[in-house]
Copies of this chain bind each other. A is one copy, B any other.
Amino acid sequence: MFNFQIEKESGMARTGTLTTPHGKIKTPGFVPVATRGALKGMSFRDAKSIGADVFMVNTFHFYCKKEYEIVEKMGGLHGFLNTDYPLMTDSGGFQVFSLGTGYGQDVGKLPRKNQKKLSPLKKKNAHFFKGRGGVKIEEEKVIFKSPFDGSRVEITPESSIKAQMKLGADIIFAFDECTSPLESYDYQKKSLKKTNRWAEKSLETLQNKKQRMMGIVQGGRFEDLRKESARFISSLPFFGFGIGGSFGESFGDSKENMNFILELLSKELPSDKPRHLLGIGEPEDIIEGALRGVDLFDCVIPTRFARHGAVLTSKGRINIKSSRYREDNTPLDENCSCDICLKHKKSYLHHLARKKEIYGIMLLTYHNLYFIFNLMEKIRKAIERDSLEQFREGFFKSYKMF
């Protein structure tokens, strides 16, 4: 029922098919995030029609109030959401990190003081060991205040996996400690030991044949720790690998560092198992990741961007709320053939976004996801033709970064 088949290799990059009991996933593939069991502004069916073949649900959001119990009673996520598509759940590790440092915006009612972005200097000291945001990482568990109701919540590898078993997604993730790329070597080293121990416990806990687990590689920006992590995690019978940690500038790290680590891992991880780069990313990150052998990406960016009026286009990201689009009668992206670009002018989408109309969110979500799935298809085709490097060059010629 579960299988991962590589179809074409081209340098570090590869295309493949990941088979689950609920259907096949083409790789490199993008996994849209349905945090609470729904995309924010689009049906699974519509997402499927533009290329989505798997969705990620966040365990954390069903964990804090034990809502996974209700989901289980309703037939697991597939029954609860009434969907036949392949589903994934993450383990909650990222949300715990997010809660601790206050970076993430996806944990709801986080107290305002924790939501502020920390300055680069402060980030260095911003690890949750010090109890930031009420998060305490112990040897066998994490303890924190629920961002939803302030109650005390504990997560252990066992409890995360048990929750994920009740949710019943096809692909689940081991519980890890997600670290900041700015953590010290000593911290990362100690943390990695814990993540490795938790990986074993996570695997031991999964007691069914309907789900497969991905182990998570950590180790921050340190070459030897990433290698150590890859070797340890790949020595365990995981179905595939999540590449964890927080990359990129919003975490005070450089994208070059991410690329370096992905190259390293492409050698260290067994090539016949799928590699999922967790929480990434922007179009440029996805291309760089695919070039370095990443098979799966999940990210809230296309959907979250849409809620803020940020639009992915072949010329780069634009913000449709900008007054320059007030009377613009061109589509969002001249090179896009999605329903929104075929039908609507920027002026209308500007108006809807400025007025915070729900329908505006729906239209931009559709376009942004279409953009990403179209990108994934182009990436797969480029790999098939051994021309991903050239595709990358062409892409960046028109796509402006900022």
Contact = CB atoms under 8 A, between A and B. Distances in A.
Interface of A: 36-43, 67, 70, 73-74, 80-82, 326-327, 329, 343-345, 347-348, 351-352, 355, 357-362
A70 B327 contact: yes
Q: Which of A40, A327, A347 has the most CB of B within 10 A?
A: A347
30 contacts: A36-B351, A36-B352, A36-B355, A37-B348, A37-B352, A38-B352, A38-B357, A38-B359, A39-B359, A40-B358, A40-B359, A41-B358, A41-B359, A67-B351, A70-B327, A70-B351, A73-B327, A74-B327, A74-B329, A74-B347, A74-B348, A80-B345, A80-B347, A80-B348, A81-B348, A82-B344, A82-B348, A358-B358, A358-B362, A362-B362
Number of copies of this chain in the oligomer? 2
Contacts of A37: 348, 351-352
A215 to B, nearest CB: 30
Contacts of A327: 70, 73-74
A217 B43 CA distance: 43
A362 B41 contact: yes
Contacts of A361: 358
The 5 nearest A-B residue pairs measured at CB: A38-B359, A41-B358, A40-B358, A38-B357, A74-B347
A231 to B, nearest CB: 41
Nearest to A67: B351
Given A358-B41, A362-B41, A347 B36 contact: no
Nearest to A42: B359
